[in-house]
Structure 1
Amino acid sequence: FKALDRDRTDTAAILYTGGTTGTPKGVMLTHEAINFSSCSIAYYERSTEKDVALCFLPFNHVFGQIHIMNSTILSSGCMEMLPSFDMDLVLEIVEAGWITKFFAVPTVYIRLLGLPDLKEKLGPLRYCFSAAASMAMEIVRQWKEQTGITISESYGMTEAMPITFNHYYPERHVVGSVGHPVHGVEVQIRNTSGKLLEQGQEGEICVRGRNVMKGYLDNPEGTLSAFWEGGWVRSGDIGLFDPDSYLYIVDRIKDMIITGGENVYPREVEEQLYTRPEVEECAVIGLPDKEWGERVVACIVPKPGQKIIPDALKTFLKSRLSPFKVPKEYVVVSQLPKSPAGKILKREVRKQFLEAGQPGKGEKG
């Protein structure tokens, strides 16, 4: 066949968003964007030809295709591939001793933390990375304590990745942050009108750089609404910068709950719930309420052998959160709906709750 000349700004791949907050959209990524992303990741992870990465994440998602596969190939490393996550098979491969880099989503790390002798099972693993969903600070701390390995994180999305990285220098890793902007990527915090906010103020994270998408496939209206003037793509995430230029993700704009006129960011509540020994996974959502507009509801997957006691959780949360942020209802479920990439789909949680009354066994407090 004859090779065709392509411009660096031509569309090279169309990857679909996870559909966490709505219908998945086809993201048109350019040759330049994919090349920039792959090179940046290989640099920040200090990837070499001696690395062997384990991948069980789907290649139709930006995490599996670009972050893991492309950057590994670019750095001449090797990759062990599995069709999906299988705990026994993953442990067998890791314990064999040739895997040096491990990539997973938060739910996988949570499951692995329940294993005895975890550090011995990981063998010579040098690097762990989590993406696709926000990682609770408590999970990062527990993993470091049990394995001695810091879970690296970055902030990115199908429309632009990576945006930040935490961190090229392990000693500068800050738990709870997604790190500093990667080289060549600009990050701003803006209000709903597009006005630039000062350091420390919460607002929407906006991004500009060679890693930004060309637009949404066959969706000119969606593309127009996704950008501010000047090529700044809107993330839909609320964040802020600290004095040292570390970026922190507060929550998704669409996930914010308004109860009694007060704003509640679910992630803040979830971070506290994850510090409880009986909680394996959780999702905090807002549901319609005649009195409050929305009521805060916590859906919880308990750890094996543990029982969720709503009154105990409510008392605990009241000591750490403002009263209006404390869930009015606690629902115990066996599992939470997730995307193929491992993100908890809160819109599906809400849908199940509203259609069936509640998604599982409910316990109110």
Structure 2
Amino acid sequence: MAATIAQTLNDLIRTGADDATALSSPGGVPLTFAALRALTARTVADLNAHGTGRGARIAIVLPNGPDMAAAFIALAAGAVAAPLNPAYTAEEFTFYLRDLGATLLVAAEGDETPAVRVAERLGIAVVRLSPTPEQGAGSFTLRFPEGAAAPAPQGGPSAPGDLALVLHTSGTTSRPKIVPLSQANVCASARNIRNALAFTAQDRGLNIMPLFHIHGLIAGILAPLSAGGQVCCTPGFSALKFFGWMGEARPTWYTAVPTMHQAILGRAGRNAETIAANPLRLIRSSSSSLPPQVMAALEEAFGAPVIEAYGMTEAAHQMASNPLPPRPHCPGCVGLAAGPEIAVVGPDGEPLASGETGEIVIRGDNVMAGYENNPAANAEAFTRQGWFRTGDQGSLSPEGYLTITGRLKEIINRGGEKISPREVDEILMDHPAVAQCVTFAVPHDKLGEEVAAAIVLREGADASEAEIRAFAASRLAGFKVPAKVLLLDEIPQGATGKLQRIGLARKLGLG
């Protein structure tokens, strides 16, 4: 563990030994911590010389992999990183670049992403990144636009209170909100994950998460680096390539969202030799609920504990985590407070007794100070007692284990009866033919909302809508049984692989 508490990204990457590997990639040359530190210092100096310093916002549109990981660290160490999904359309890039107030866009040399055309139209300078993989995974040079620029007024490495990262909320029901996270926020979250999972310099992560998302950036990259460990950065998730990467990188752990775990599990049986030859210390799951059935199957296939955690962008990712063995990690719950304080409160904002269901609230040094330029959202998001309202509903056990019953906005109100979609999911996942399931609300002219479920069947399995409804009826009260069951080849996912309930009825033509 680090001897001092890192408050900035520059502090965080000082942890690893000079000759220890920080970043690697499948088939690539490793990048040492000494090289990562030198790359970061050189990048900050380049930015400063071209007029960009602390507080300036740099949009990053790069493919997943070591270049994106290193660029995020190096740029955020002396400015503000704003990673964007490379799959966005020109219209989406226009919104995000304007809303962020970006002054630079970093894109790969030769990449014809629509972000470049949009940036040029908006008068945002475009900086081109050229990988130099022979110097180590993630190593790069930057080419700035021609023309002289005054040196940055605020140069040098960022301070703890400076912003490191700005991201948008998903915006499934409204305009996305800007979440500004300070250097201290992201370092605190990395430290919380490192402590929860007992990372050391001997740990090797295999990152399959997208690096325009908080989960990948903090849990996938910064947390293991903060312990002096290494990360093998893949080009993005692929169930077909996962076990090949596993055999090459020999990871001790990986983190993913449930849909990724399920895809990996689908190929685990035919890769038993690779699993046995590369034993994992742990598997981490976060960003959406992991069905208990999937947790059990993963633990059986890999012979490793599956540690479910709870995170959100506004908390720089992690809020709670199940503990490592020998302490119990409980299927269907997201564990103990792992960094910030956690409480469950009633409508008056006062904490409820253990076992009672209410809204989950948090406060701590990883939590953002507030949404940017949005006093109305902040007035709603923070209680009088200084807690941040997560929008999730749940309860705490007497031992402090947190169980999430659902998003408050996702609770289905069927004629006054309140139904937690997660409860229905967990029942339907017990059906032997069901591989994936998402329960969601559909509009109803008399009840307001009715229960529906989108289901993907296991390969080779067969079940009808009537059979699945009958199975649900044998285990659930009548008002919770899905009135409609849709059997699909694939359930629509968000950009990070999460299954999204809000808006699903509309996407499926039911709203």
Q: TM-score, normalised by structure 1?
A: 0.91
What is the alpha-carbon distance in structure 2 between the residues aligned to residue 25 and residue 306 of structure 1?
Answer: 42
The aligned residue for residue 164 of structure 1 is 320
Letter in 2 for 1:351: R
1:177 aligns with 2:333: yes
The aligned residue for residue 417 of structure 2 is 262
2:293–2:429 Cα contact (<8 Å) kept? yes
What is the alpha-carbon distance in structure 1 between the residues aligned to residue 208 and residue 320 of structure 2?
Answer: 23
Alignment of 1:53-202 (within 5 A): 53-96=205-248, 98-115=250-267, 116-122=269-275, 123-160=278-315, 161-183=317-339, 185-202=340-357
Moved more, 215-224 or 173-182: 215-224
What is the alpha-carbon distance in structure 2 between the residues aligned to residue 168 and residue 224 of structure 1?
Answer: 37
Q: 203, 211, 224: which one pairs with 2:358? A: 203
Gaps spanning 5+ residues in structure 1: where?
359-365
Secondary structure of the residue aligned to 1:153 is: strand
2:431–2:471 Cα contact (<8 Å) kept? no
1:118–1:146 Cα contact (<8 Å) kept? no
Secondary structure of the residue aligned to 2:502 is: helix
What is the alpha-carbon distance in structure 2 between the residues aligned to residue 349 and residue 170 of structure 1?
Answer: 39
What is the alpha-carbon distance in structure 2 between the residues aligned to residue 23 and residue 348 of structure 1?
Answer: 14
Higher strand share: 1
Structure with greater Cα Rg: 2
Moved more, 112-121 or 264-273: 112-121
1:156–1:164 Cα contact (<8 Å) kept? yes
The aligned residue for residue 322 of structure 1 is 477
Q: Aligned in 2, Cα 1:97/1:209: closer, same or farther, shift over 3 Å? A: closer
Moved more, 65-74 or 306-315: 306-315
2:219–2:255 Cα contact (<8 Å) kept? no
Q: Aligned in 2, Cα 1:11/1:214: closer, same or farther, shift over 3 Å? A: farther
The aligned residue for residue 9 of structure 1 is 161
1:208–1:232 Cα contact (<8 Å) kept? yes
1:166–1:179 Cα contact (<8 Å) kept? yes
2:281–2:305 Cα contact (<8 Å) kept? no
Secondary structure of the residue aligned to 1:225 is: helix
2:360–2:393 Cα contact (<8 Å) kept? yes
1:21–1:345 Cα contact (<8 Å) kept? no
Higher RCO (C-alpha under 8 Å, 6+ residues apart): 1
Letter in 2 for 1:83: P
What is the alpha-carbon distance in structure 2 between the residues aligned to residue 187 and residue 194 of structure 1?
Answer: 13
Letter in 2 for 1:190: V
What is the alpha-carbon distance in structure 2 between the residues aligned to residue 41 and residue 151 of structure 1?
Answer: 15
Return the offset for 1:87. 1.7
Q: How many percent identity over aligned positions?
A: 32
Secondary structure of the residue aligned to 2:453 is: strand
The aligned residue for residue 288 of structure 1 is 443
The aligned residue for residue 273 of structure 1 is 428
The aligned residue for residue 194 of structure 2 is 42
What is the alpha-carbon distance in structure 1 between the residues aligned to residue 204 and residue 263 of structure 2?
Answer: 22
1:18–1:341 Cα contact (<8 Å) kept? no
What is the alpha-carbon distance in structure 2 between the residues aligned to residue 310 and residue 203 of structure 1?
Answer: 33
What is the alpha-carbon distance in structure 2 between the residues aligned to residue 310 and residue 179 of structure 1?
Answer: 34
The aligned residue for residue 350 of structure 1 is 505
Return the offset for 1:141. 1.2
Gaps spanning 5+ residues in structure 2: where?
1-44, 49-154
Q: TM-score, normalised by structure 2?
A: 0.66
